[in-house]
Structure 1
Amino acid sequence: MKRIVLTVCAAALLAGAAFFAGCKEENDHDHEWNAGEITKQATYTQSGEKLYACKACGQTRKEAVEKLTFTADVTVKAGESISAAVKSAEDGDFILVKAGTYKEQLVVENKEVFIIGEGTVVVGGPEDYSTMKNLVKPAAESKNYAALGLFVGSKALVENISFTADPDKANIPYLTGENVYCGVASVDCALTLNYVKIKEITYPERPSGIQNGRGLFAAAEQKDKSLTVRYSEISGFNKTGVVVRAGVSELVFDGNTVLGAGQQARNCQNGLQIECDKAEIKNNTIKNLVYSKEDEWKHASWGVLVYGAGEKGVKISANKFDYVDNGVYIVVNGSTELGENEYKNLYEEGYSHYETPKEGEEQAS
């Protein structure tokens, strides 16, 4: 009997149907499927995906993984305060945030909470950005840190929420000199971000050389404080998309988009700057990081900048680098594993990977 091949639409896949790839008549047998591999994590707002392979012929099939379920302990509506709900919540509470724009700084301190957005949820910061709470010189930093989303000493999950700043409010001394300005800052926190957007962390004038304007910053002095970011977008930053300091125990950065400003002469932008003990950076798109100042090193922007890797190592694989000066720069190669990545539109051919700077050139900053 000939095998009938079915084409399954995306809607059926999400409904739980399986998709079979590479089915041929010569492989007409009862398949013995392996245990399968999760290729996309299920979250509280989106289903996931699992890939199975036949042990005999290698044919594959995909199955949808149902999204996680939860019951809201607290519901926040437009016009109310997310931070106030967090402050009054019990450890382990799920906070459901209804669609709307919330003119506040989201602060989570010493709490274990799950914050889930429903529809389009935007955290835009307070009316006066100089009133934002800051972190006082976290983890050996030289300055204080202020952010639209501030997570301190907590264990938190945030999903389907956009941290979108108003650049016209940011060009003030509080955020251009007194503090380092971020979209989200995590200190001594085990933080997970799923389907989060961090946007427009910049200044209307974007002063040349300013080291401020970071999308996401994480540091830790306590043990076992991790950062997990999946299926998120970080764009419109002034300096660096993601900075993860050495004290963070582990970084998982999977399936995200990091989008720089494109060709510009104000800063040598970097997509990710990694210093943590262990990291897995995979399946990301990192693009538009080009430094064009004529009187300085012209290829000083990096997709991933590894300043140090701990004993547990950093793995970088299956990422797409497009229109960046350089792909991966490993300054201190403690234990970095560089897998297969895609590189397009680099400064010059061959600028996909450096382990040390060229003789006579300074290291990127």
Structure 2
Amino acid sequence: MNDPGFGVYIHWPFCAAKCPYCDFNSHVRHQPVDQERFAAAFAKELAAMRDRTGPRTVTSIFLGGGTPSLMKPETVGAVLDAVASNWTLAEGAEVTLEANPSSVEASRFRGYRAAGVNRVSLGVQALNDADLKFLGRLHNVDEALIAIALAREIFPRLSFDLIYARPGQQPEAWEAELKQAIGHAVDHLSLYQLTIEEGTPFHALHAAKKFAIPEPDAAAELYTVTQEVTAAHGLPAYEISNHARPGAESRHNLTYWRYGEYVGAGPGAHGRFIENRMRVVTMTEKVPETWLNLVEAKGHGVTGGETLTRSEEIDEFLLMGLRLAEGIDLARYEELAGKPFNAPRLSILQEEGLIEQIGNSRLRATPAGMIVLDAVVADLAR
């Protein structure tokens, strides 16, 4: 297996509106954001991270949010320059920017491409207007399709997200929508089941029975449709929720799932990297203005973090790696754990059809195991 790589995650926390299902660290501001000041703060925090990681070769950069497509191309360029001035950029490094179809215009997309972005991830979420409205999106289907066509024309690589298991959604309708999505010459799709997260408007509305999401059996049927349709059209799942044509997988997300290292900069960003031969976790202040003041005062906005114990590393390695169709490298597990898996426990999980071995070198969760992955990991890690 190749080196999992070293990634840089940049969190742009601002949105034009907060989606009712979203529990990410995103904030709406009704006054213009001082982008130059934020860009300078990103550069400062990245330099502080470089002091901790030492020299590395960056294989991917991901600008997430929030809505990074609310950034000016100049801001994106300044942030990418800051990454390049602190670490070596690998030749052909993947540089992804998340964009909403409603905040897209040709000049801005061309500006991002000129700044160094070579992959766009579009938050489409649905291909029918009624569901887009329900999900609180600011775009309609026509705008989404225009954004997809524009991104395809300007960027070498494109992905977009869809949310399924929406209220009343039937398998036949989801199958048609998926085929429509694949028909837009897309090589990567992120397909997420709608989940009700605490603290979101949807949580309160769902509790008040204002809407219902599909029952577990109906949701499982929609998941099965997802796997079958994408596989039949050449975009098999390479991770629980992510589908790609071979070679078009998200390199940045593979760094997470293969348990590589990455730094996180910006409000509410997380990082995980080796420092003094130990894997450390960093967490930054979530409130954008507080983060900004912290960075300006002391060079970074890190307010939390920890050094992981061996057992915490093993749990994370299993939980991330078993999400992947390729599974985990047994030799790497033994290196981390200092011992092989418990053979009787492994046999039981194999007999139950939850895991399977690939040759002598890898282990992966079966489709049945993916659905109960937390339980599988808890069993394996004991």
Higher helix proportion, which one?
Answer: 2
Higher strand proportion, which one?
Answer: 1
The alignment's TM-score, normalised by the length of structure 2, stands at: 0.31
Highest Rg: 1 or 2?
1
The alignment's TM-score, normalised by the length of structure 1, stands at: 0.32
Q: Which gives a bigger RCO, structure 1 or 2 (Cα 8 Å, sep 6+)?
A: 2
